[in-house]
């Protein structure tokens, strides 16, 4: 999460898009990014197998179209894979990265997910 | 094996090809497991994510269930205990098989397609090819060239290749990741929002 939350910030900066990254860990926060809210609701519905999955899928389709929906499904799938690989192999986060990201981690309350591996 | 997606969603043809190739790979003898073991591992992983499925007791099955359904609970001591029993390389193969199965199933759930039935295993012996350049390091399993997410499965070359095969079509190739203004169906920032939220729900700090 740390790596891709930073890529999110960098991408929003480079493309001059509005962003409130706290939405990553707090779904009550509006991410401000175009189609951000339906995308977050969709991720939550897929991972929690929520009953409103079909509604969130339709909202994503309306917001970003069919190719956007397929991209969102692909990204969810890829990170379902990569998260398991990182956790199961004990992928460490370097000391330099930890030092550099102290404020960012505090803003998003990321350290609650830290354990001996990461 | 079909991977025919519902007509309501136009799934890119490279994704269908990718999944068919992964199903073929799943069914074939791997590096340390035969096809029957690989499909059994996938079966256990899928069952662990299905509410109401009965618990099964077997070393490989328990490891597959944990990686599939409770990855955020994995700790070094557990990995040490599993690898003492089955070895590092078979464990890495298991992690590869399970993580790709979970990815393919998640894609199907996301687009509203029924899960693809698992393939029939093929007969044959695993290759037992050892990656001699892998070394223990800062991560919990040996890797080639030090601890890095792109090298995480490098102890078993076939699994590392399969991971990389999935990464590009589903998200971005490692080269494309440098393009912060990349746009496909979603903008790069939208892709990263989905990636970060997925990782948050999975409680994956990395």
Q: What is the pLDDT along chain A (118 residues), one digit of tens a residue?
A: 999 999 999 999 999 999 999 999 998 999 999 999 999 999 999 999 889 999 999 999 999 999 999 999 999 999 999 999 999 999 999 999 999 999 999 999 999 998 765 5
Domain residue limits at B34: 13-124+140-170
Q: Is residue A118 part of a domain?
A: no
Domain count along chain A? 1
CA distance, residue B73 to nearest chain A CA (Å): 8
Domain residue limits at A22: 15-112
Q: Is residue B7 part of a domain?
A: no
CB contact under 8 A, A77 and B103: yes
Q: Is residue B34 part of a domain?
A: yes
Q: Is residue B5 part of a domain?
A: no
Q: Same domain for B177 and B112?
A: no
Q: Same domain for B178 and B82?
A: no
Task: Summarize pLDDT for B168-186 with one digit per residue, the tens.
Answer: 999 999 899 999 999 999 9
Q: Which residues of B touch A47 (CB under 8 A)?
A: 106, 198, 201-202
Length of chain A (residues) = 118
Q: Is residue A69 part of a domain?
A: yes
Domain count along chain B? 2
Q: Same domain for B112 and B204?
A: no
- Going by C-beta distance under 8 Å and a sequence separation of 6 or more, which residues neighbour residue A17? A11, A33, A34, B187, B189
Q: Return the residue in A83, A97, A108 with the most chain B beta carbons within 10 A, the one to mutate for interface testing.
A: A83
Indicate the pLDDT class of residue B1, thresholds 50, 70 and 90. low
Q: Same domain for B119 and B176?
A: no
Q: Same domain for B67 and B119?
A: yes
Closest Cβ–Cβ partner in B11, B147, B204 for A83: B204
Q: Same domain for B155 and B200?
A: no
Q: Is residue A8 part of a domain?
A: no
Q: Same domain for B147 and B205?
A: no
CB contact under 8 A, B147 and A57: no
Q: Is residue B6 part of a domain?
A: no
Q: Is residue B179 part of a domain?
A: yes
Residue matched to tokens 């509006």: A30
Alpha helix locations (H) across chain A? 2-14, 36-47, 53-89, 95-100, 102-108
CB contact under 8 A, B166 and A11: no
Closest Cβ–Cβ partner in A25, A33, A81 for B200: A25
Count A/B contacts: CB-CB distance under 8 Å. 265
Task: Summarize pLDDT for B29-61 with one digit per residue, the tens.
Answer: 999 999 999 999 999 999 998 776 655 557 889
Residue matched to tokens 């992928």: A91
Q: Same domain for B19 and B111?
A: yes
Sign of the Cα torsion B159, B18, B101, A1 reads positive
Q: Same domain for B55 and B20?
A: yes
Q: Is residue B3 part of a domain?
A: no
């Amino acid at each position: 999460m740390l790596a891709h939350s930073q890529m999110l910030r960098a991408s929003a900066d480079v493309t001059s898009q509005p962003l409130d990254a706290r939405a990553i860990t707090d779904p009550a926060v509006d991410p401000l990014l175009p189609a951000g809210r339906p995308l977050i609701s969709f991720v939550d519905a897929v991972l929690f197998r929520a009953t409103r999955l079909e509604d969130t899928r339709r909202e994503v389709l309306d917001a970003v179209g069919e190719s956007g929906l397929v991209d969102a499904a692909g990204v969810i799938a890829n990170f379902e894979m990569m998260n398991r690989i990182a956790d199961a192999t004990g992928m460490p986060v370097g000391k330099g990265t930890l030092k550099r990201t102290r404020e960012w981690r505090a803003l998003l309350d990321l350290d609650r997910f830290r354990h001996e591996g990461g | 094996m079909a991977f025919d997606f519902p007509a309501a969603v136009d799934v890119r043809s490279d994704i269908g090809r990718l999944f068919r190739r992964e199903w073929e790979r799943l069914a074939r003898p791997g590096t340390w497991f035969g096809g029957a073991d690989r499909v059994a591992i996938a079966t256990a992983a899928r069952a662990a994510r299905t509410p109401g499925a009965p618990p099964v007791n077997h070393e490989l099955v328990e490891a597959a269930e944990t990686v599939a359904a409770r990855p955020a609970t994995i700790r070094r001591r557990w990995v040490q205990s599993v690898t003492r029993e089955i070895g590092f390389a078979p464990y890495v193969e298991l992690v590869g098989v399970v993580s790709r199965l979970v990815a393919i199933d998640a894609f199907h759930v996301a687009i509203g397609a029924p899960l693809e039935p698992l393939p029939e295993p093929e007969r044959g012996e695993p290759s037992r090819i050892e990656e001699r350049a892998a070394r223990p390091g800062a991560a919990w399993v040996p890797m080639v060239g030090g601890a890095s997410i792109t090298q995480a499965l490098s102890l078993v070359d076939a699994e590392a290749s399969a991971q990389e095969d999935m990464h590009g079509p589903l998200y971005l190739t490692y080269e494309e990741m440098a393009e912060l203004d990349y746009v496909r169906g979603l903008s790069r920032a939208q892709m990263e929002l989905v990636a970060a939220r997925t990782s948050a729900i999975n409680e994956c700090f990395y």
